[in-house]
Amino acid sequence: MAGIFCNAMAAIGVSLGVCVEDTGTVQPPDLGPGDPTLFDFKSRPAPEPVQSGRLLFIPGRIDFGTVKFAGRVSTGVTVKNVGGKNVELHSVLIGMSEGAGVGNLTLAANQCSELDLPPGGECRVEVAFQASAETGGQVRGELVVSHTGPERASKALIAGKAGPRPVLVPPVPTAPALPKVWPKPLPDPNANASNRILKARRVASWGEVGTEDLEKEPTIPPSGRPVNKGKYMDDEYSHPEVEGGLPVDNSRIVTTVRYIHAVVETSVNSQVSGESGGKIILQVTKDVFAANNDDLLIPKGSRLDCSYESLEKDGDSRLPVICHRVLRGEDYAELYEIAGVVGDTMGRAGVPGEIDRRIWERYGSSFVVAGISTMAAAGANMQSDSDSLFDGAGTELSQSLGEISAKILEQTVNLAPIITIAQGTRVIIIPRNDWILKRPTRGDVG
């Protein structure tokens, strides 16, 4: 090609110094000594192009999924500068392209407005979706971030779905429960047995009117044997008959078969009891209820005023205690002139305690005097037969001391033992007679 060009130039009379004969190979000119790499383009790397700032959304899409009616969900994206220069962020906006009446898209948090974002820098934007349509629907929009980069604005798609308002299904009414059918009670022939027996006894004893009705009423056959109406014992029975009493209302009575638990409140020493006996206070520790109902007769905390007598003779080991008065702890009602025997926790009469037999007080003095008498007699016997004066004096002294010892022993041998009962000892009170408590009425004060 170079040869053809040179020939054409020569034909028109233009001579070019650079035109040489076309030999098919072009040789580079000899540049002489110098830098051999001056034109070695392969040995020098190409200059890198200068990159501008560029924004990237992580994740690239905001998807709320399905949000239930009147629900609010928030999620966000991270805006990152993946370019080589700083990018100045201006504003962050949200635009809706579909579903304007389905719900609202708002910025829940924004860290990217008016921010100079360096290469590799990040900021966070939170978007909230509030579902408000009762029928539900689809929502679409865009998150737009304006900046100074080449694109001027970067966008991230927003998608979500609002669920419809739930339909409340009324509960299915349950059928009313059928009334419970109780089986018919079986006839009880003994239901009025006590009334019939009492009536028969009254007719047999006092001849009351009503034998006709009694004959019509059914009788109770004992073990299949016929019943003798109005007569319950054979004529040959020799033991006298005993009439039973009528039914008694025991709702306010503490009978003699009841027992009351208590503790000793004042300790006892029986050495001194006085003319009318010593005094001891007991406190009730367990409620006493009526036998046939729940009436509280003697509440716990009530106090009993009791007395005791000292032990009389050697061998006694229990202190006899009798209660005479009860002061109820609930309403301060009092029971006077009662009689209650106090015993141990097993119901045995008398209160046990620590016994002092007083052995030294009984025999100690006589033992001392007897010893002195014995030593005096021994000393008199050791004297010689010629010394009759000492012998007579020793014998007389021994006899006198013997009489003194006998007199002392006579006075002290009948000393009664002393019993000591500690405070807090548990006891039981058993009434000797029935304690009847008056039923209070409104306004009654004793």
Ordered per-residue pLDDT tens for the chain, 446 residues: 445 545 555 554 544 444 444 445 445 555 455 544 444 444 555 555 446 778 888 888 888 888 888 888 888 899 888 888 888 888 888 888 888 888 888 888 888 888 888 888 899 999 988 888 878 888 898 888 888 888 888 888 888 888 888 887 888 888 888 877 777 766 666 666 666 776 776 676 655 544 444 444 444 444 444 444 555 555 555 556 667 777 777 888 888 889 999 999 999 988 876 566 789 999 999 999 988 777 888 999 999 999 998 887 777 889 999 999 999 988 788 888 888 999 999 989 899 999 887 777 776 766 676 676 666 666 666 654 545 555 566 666 666 666 666 666 666 666 778 889 999 999 999 999 888 888 777 666 55
Is-contact 76 125, C-beta < 8 A? yes
Give residue 124's Cα distance to chain centre: 52
Q: Which helix or strand (DSSP H or E) is residue 117 part of?
A: strand 115-117
CATH of domain 259-357+420-436: 2.40.128.260
Domains 70-162 and 259-357+420-436 equal at CATH topology level: no
Is-contact 109 76, C-beta < 8 A? yes
3.30.70.120, 2.60.40.10, 1.10.8.10, 3.30.70.270: CATH of 70-162: 2.60.40.10
Q: Where in the chain are the domains?
A: 70-162, 259-357+420-436, 359-414
Task: Assign 371 to helix, strand or coil.
Answer: helix
Work out whether strand 260-264 and strand 303-308 pair parallel, antiparallel, or are unpaired.
Answer: unpaired
Residue 4 burial class via C-beta count within 10 angstroms: exposed 0-12, middle 13-18, buried 19 and up:
exposed
Closest by Cα among 250, 255, 252, 249 to 296: 252
Give residue 420's Cα distance to chain centre: 44
* C-alpha span between 219 and 53 (Å, rounded): 118
